Chains A and B, each alone.
Chain A
Amino acid sequence: MGHGSRSGWQTPTGALLWEIWGQRKVNFAFHAAALLASLFSVWCIKHGADEMVERVLIMVMLSCFLGAYLDLLTCFGYIDADARKIQLGYPARLLLKPVSTLRLVLVPMLFGGAVVAIVLLIWNHWILQPLVHLSALNPFWLGAVILSFFWWMQALAWSLPLMPGRSLIMLIVAVIHLGVGLMPLLPASGLAGWQWPSLAVLLVTALLTARIGLGLMREGKWEGPPRINLFCSRWDSARTRNTREKFGSTFGAQFWLEWRRQGLILPGVTAGMMFVILPLIFVVQQQTGEPARGADFIKILVSLTLLIPLMISSVMGANIARFDQLQPSNELPVYIAVRPMTNGGLVIAKLAMALASSTLTWLAVLVVAVFWLMVLQTHWLITQAATVPPFGVLAIAIGCVPLLMLLILYTWKNLVAGIGAGLTGRRWVVGLFTGWKTVAAIALIGLFSAAKFNDELRSTLRHWLPELLITALVAKVAITIAIFICESRRKVITPGCVGWIVGGWLAGGLFVAGYAGLICRAIHDSDLWLPIALGGFLILPLPDLAIAPLALAWNRHR
């Protein structure tokens, strides 16, 4: 290459692509590693791996696929996040480059779309298809729908970052794609001929939206069309006039802030996932010829209904301690740190928000599950319950209330269990805490797995279980008392805060013990009660919550 000549990378298109490559080299390496690991797993399964190993490998592969695929979408999303302004958008620096808007749109969209589609096909052909036999889900169709969805999300994220109601538009687009994606699976075959034209319209309009949106951005119209803006301003004005003049207390204000930041995430994500997954399972079961309205579907529905909120809350628990999710640093935001509120008060507001969020999550789950039962013509289950003597619908509904409360309690526990470590604002503490929890969980699982096969160990454990649980409980209480004494000396906790934490723990533990008592009486096994009751007190977080004000003080006063 002679001096002064332009290599492929030195053209505007090459430079744009090079930037993606330069920023995401490590991601691509991880992606390749995940793909290789999954291929190796497939090879192991094909060459007769143990059933248990096979299950683990399938879980690993599916996790690798999901993680890698989502990561790939972010790689080619070409979206800059402005944490200070909490908005996503096209990298602003590129808008000033002497490159046509069409090129700015097409380069990341076409290239990203091609890579995403190819990667999906590779995964589907080599890894997913051998594991999941879904003849009805044509991989090309699936890839095209995902590509369209990806393009739409890009187009909306790039365009008009300040336009009000953008999230609502994204939600509508997601629902449209879900509908279009399911078209080939729907029983109404009259729609089948329209599936590809509908998708083509979506793909073309995505490109057009991106082109128009980015064009408006380059003209400085970041807030979108003036009419939409005016409408939203009027709506906001009307809404603001209707809001309360002031909060009744500092707790009320802090709870409001916490709720606005995080309160709706768990209910929203859970309900959204269930809203999508339940009909998919129903349709897939229909396609595979299994009895969609039978016991299998109900089993899956109940399992998912119970598992999804608990799993998502476990994942979200890692973030609940943060006061501002999009702040780059883990330090307490200044606008909270300088408020005249005790550390204990800030913690209690967070705990209350988590409880309210857990409650709303389960109510949302109930609504979505009942909705799909009705829509999918499986509501006969509910009416059938009325015929089961001696309960009836009302009695079952009342009987479910304690179970619902137990689920709410467990979801809340998942959310707040790591709050003490998170509030320190130090990543290494969170890492240590997570490591400790993982080691403890592995040790417990190992112990119980060993007991499953070893009769002597099982009988020893059964014999000593109450004593072991009591010892653990005493240790838990002793650690908590030590923490409270330390906090009291440092003046980071008030008696009221101690009362809330201890009172909440006792109430939760007594509720579990009482409910266990009722169940044990019903199944005539009184020996189970003590371990379950003690287990309830042990599972509910106490030292984690007790240490939270001290952890926050460590973060707030560095």
Chain B
Amino acid sequence: MKYPSPSSAEAVISVSGLSRHFGPKRALDEVSVFIPRGSVLGLVGENGAGKTTLIKHLLGSLKALAGSVRVFGLDPVLDPVGVLGRVGYLSERRDLPCWMRVGEFIRYTQAFYPGWDATYAAQLLEQFQLDPVQKIKTLSQGQQAKTGLLAALAYRPELLILDEPSSGLDPVVRRDILEAIIRMVADEGRTVLFSSHLLDEVERVADHVVMLQQGRVVLNGRTEEVRAGHISAVLAFAQPPGAAPMLTGAHAVTGYGSEWRVLFGGSRTELVTAAARVGARVVEERTPTLDEILVARAGGKAS
């Protein structure tokens, strides 16, 4: 299930062996991620898993103290202009200059990007229903997200990085943002990396997924392959076990009595074999959602 490591020429993002500690806390541990051009990668994981830390390394806001980070083959710390000129970024915290007006922010941002597409910016302004005269501090959370997204998209960056783009937003704004991402992907050669808690979004949009858990990469592959590599099954026991059965390969086991639901990582044959070992048989199975996989992997083996 390992996501193939493309050559450095193909990779827009190439992270290898990246580790980072903040005091005693291990934020990233030997993380290696390669993202080829034109792909949409969903970065998922529970709170504090290391998603934002990884993104900050890609932007050069954090320096790689162990391991290496290359974006477009460049070190974002040594060559911030070369990297950031090709990257669009929307921050999780919507860190915008609240004292500016929307129009002023657009004008300020435009100065840094020679490839700024004024027509596209005007189109996004209209689509997002933003008033250029309005001060950013008076915008709602959703409008601030749209303003940030407009500034990140209007120069048609080769790489778009979105950190929790839909966090705290209503479904309409989330839809707008997702549509913008999809449109961006349609542009040939553009690459998108976005982190999200909302895994239904990731399933809809991402063709690859990387799951972080306590700073480590626990899943890395094509979205469909990741899903197909797991089975959500119901096991039936002839005699109800006293405690949750210890099933090799199961990421989560829930239930009671003689029927237990497991989320299993492996093939169907492996599931049947493992079930037989604990005296159970598979009575129902289906492909789990990414959400179920994340919850199972983050939540422990049994409950």
**Looking across the interface, which residue of chain A has its beta carbon closest to that of B65?**
A558
CA distance A334 to B98 in the complex (A): 13
Contact with B along A75-88 (1 / 0, CB 8 A): 00000000011110
- Asked whether B26 is an interface residue with its Cβ less than 8 Å from the other chain, the reply is no
The answer to whether B98 and A236 have CB atoms under 8 Å apart is no
Could you tell me if A557 and B111 are in contact, using CB atoms closer than 8 angstroms?
A: no
- Please tell me if the beta carbons of B97 and A333 are within 8 angstroms of each other in the complex: yes
Of A84, A342, A556, A557, which is in contact with the most chain B CB atoms at under 10 Å from its CB?
Answer: A557
Which one, A246-254, A273-281, A438-446, is touching chain B?
A246-254
- CB–CB A240/B103 < 8 A: yes
CA distance A343 to B133 in the complex (A): 30
Q: Check B138–A162 contact: CB distance below 8 A.
A: yes
A367 to chain B, nearest CB (A): 27
A240 contact from B61, B111, B132, Cβ within 8 A: B132
Residue among B63, B108, B132 making CB contact with A257, cutoff 8 Å:
B108
- Measured between beta carbons, the chain A residues less than 8 angstroms from B81 are 340-342
Q: Does A260 contact B (CB under 8 A)?
A: yes
Pick from A237, A249, A252: contact of B133, CB below 8 A: A237
- A-contact bits for B190-220, CB 8 A (1 contact / 0 none): 0000000000000000000000000000000
Which residues from 245 to 289 on chain A have a C-beta closer than 8 Å to any C-beta of chain B?
A: 245-247, 249-250, 252-254, 256-257, 260-261
Closest residue of B by beta carbon distance from A256? B108
**Once the chains bind, are B84 and A558 in contact (CB under 8 Å)?**
no
In the complex, chain A residues whose CB is within 8 Å of the CB of B16: none
**Which residues does chain A contribute within 8 Å of B84, judged by CB atoms?**
338-340
Mark the stretch among B85-93, B244-252, B269-277, B282-290 that contacts chain A.
B85-93
In the complex, A233 has a CB within 8 A of chain B: yes
Give the docked Cα–Cα distance between A261 and B113 (Å).
Answer: 22
Q: Is B110 an interface residue when CB atoms closer than 8 A count as contact? A: yes
A340 with B80, Cβ < 8 A, contacts A233-B133, A556-B60, A558-B63 known: yes
| A380 is an interface residue with CB less than 8 A from chain B | no
B133 lies within 8 A of A253 (CB): no
Q: Which residues of chain A are near B113, meaning CB under 8 Å? A: 340
Assess whether A491 is interfacial by the CB under 8 Å rule.
Answer: yes
Q: Is the CB of B93 within 8 A of A334?
A: yes
Min Cβ gap A239→B in Å is 9
Residue of A nearest to B108 (CB): A253
Whether A556 pairs with B107 at a CB distance below 8 angstroms is no
Q: Is B95 an interface residue (CB 8 A)?
A: yes
- Assuming the A-B contacts A334-B95, A340-B81, A341-B112, are A246 and B87 also in contact, with contact meaning beta carbons closer than 8 angstroms in the complex? no
Question: Which residue from chain B places its CB closest to the CB of A324 in the assembled complex?
Answer: B97
The minimal Cβ–Cβ distance linking B70 to chain A, given in whole angstroms, is: 15
Size category of the binding interface on chain A: 35 or more
- Do A557 and B63 touch across chains, with their CB atoms under 8 A apart? yes
- Residues of A with C-beta under 8 A to B63: 557-558
B172 CB-CB contact with A under 8 Å: no
Q: Does B137 contact A (CB under 8 A)?
A: yes
Instruction: Assess the A335–B60 pair: CB atoms within 8 A.
Output: no
Is residue B173 contacting chain A, with contact meaning CB distance below 8 A?
no
Q: Decide if B59 touches A338 in the complex (CB within 8 Å).
A: yes
Q: Is the CB of A249 within 8 A of B59?
A: no
Are B97 and A558 touching (Cβ within 8 A)?
no
- CB within 8 A of A557: which of B62, B133, B138? B62
Q: Which residues of A contact B61 (CB under 8 A)?
A: 334, 337-338, 556-558
Q: In the bound complex, how far is the Cα of B62 from the Cα of A553, in angstroms?
A: 10
Q: How far is the CA of A333 from the CA of B98 in the complex (A)?
A: 11
The minimal Cβ–Cβ distance linking B94 to chain A, given in whole angstroms, is 9
Instruction: Give complex CA distance A256, B110 in Å.
Output: 13
Q: Are A557 and B77 in contact, CB atoms less than 8 angstroms apart?
A: yes
Residue of A nearest to B95 (CB): A334
B100 CB, nearest partner CB in chain A, Å: 8
Interface positions of B from 64 to 85, Cβ below 8 Å from A = 77-85
CA distance A337 to B78 in the complex (A): 14
Judged by a CB distance under 8 angstroms, whether B120 is at the interface is no
Minimal beta-carbon separation of B80 from chain A (angstroms): 7
Chain A minimum-CB-distance residue to B113: A340
Residue of chain B at shortest CB distance from A85: B137
Chain A, residues 226-246, CB within 8 Å of chain B (1/0): the string is 000000010011001001111
Q: Which of A85, A252, A334 contacts B111 (CB 8 A)?
A: A252
Instruction: Determine whether the beta carbon of A558 is less than 8 Å from that of B99.
Output: no
Contact across chains for B111 and A247 when beta carbons are under 8 A apart: yes
Contacts of A257 in B (CB 8 A): 97, 108
Q: Are A342 and B80 in contact (CB under 8 A)?
A: yes
CA distance A233 to B103 in the complex (A): 14
Q: Which residues of B contact A250 (CB under 8 A)?
A: 111-112
**Cα separation A104 to B105 with both chains bound (whole Å):** 37
Bound complex: CA A237 to CA B84 (Å): 32
Cβ contacts B112-145/A at 8 Å (1 or 0 each)? 1100000000000000000011000110000000
A337 to B133 CA separation, bound complex (whole angstroms): 25
Q: Name which residue of chain B comes closest to A333, CB basis.
A: B95
B80/A86 in contact, CB under 8 A: no
Chain A 119-133 interface residues, beta-carbon cutoff 8 Å to B: none
A85-B98, A340-B80, A557-B61 known; A253-B112 Cβ under 8 A: yes
Distance to closest chain B CB from A487 (angstroms): 12
Chain A CB within 8 A of B182 CB: no
Q: Kindly report which residue of chain B lies nearest to residue A253, judged by CB atoms.
A: B111
Asked whether A557 and B112 contact (CB < 8 A) given A86-B99, A233-B133, A334-B95, the answer is no
Contact B112 A86 (CB under 8 A): no
Residues facing A in B218-261 (CB within 8 A) are none
> Are B132 and A557 within 8 A (Cβ)?
no
Q: How far is the CA of A326 from the CA of B58 in the complex (A)?
A: 27
B101 at the binding interface (Cβ < 8 Å): yes
Query: In whole angstroms, what is the CA distance A342 to B77 when docked?
Result: 11
Q: Could you jot down 13 A-B contacts, CB within 8 Å?
A: A84-B137, A87-B137, A233-B133, A240-B101, A243-B104, A253-B108, A257-B97, A335-B97, A337-B59, A339-B109, A339-B112, A340-B83, A340-B84
Q: Which 8 A-B pairs have the closest CB atoms?
A: A253-B111, A340-B85, A334-B95, A247-B111, A340-B84, A85-B137, A557-B77, A557-B63
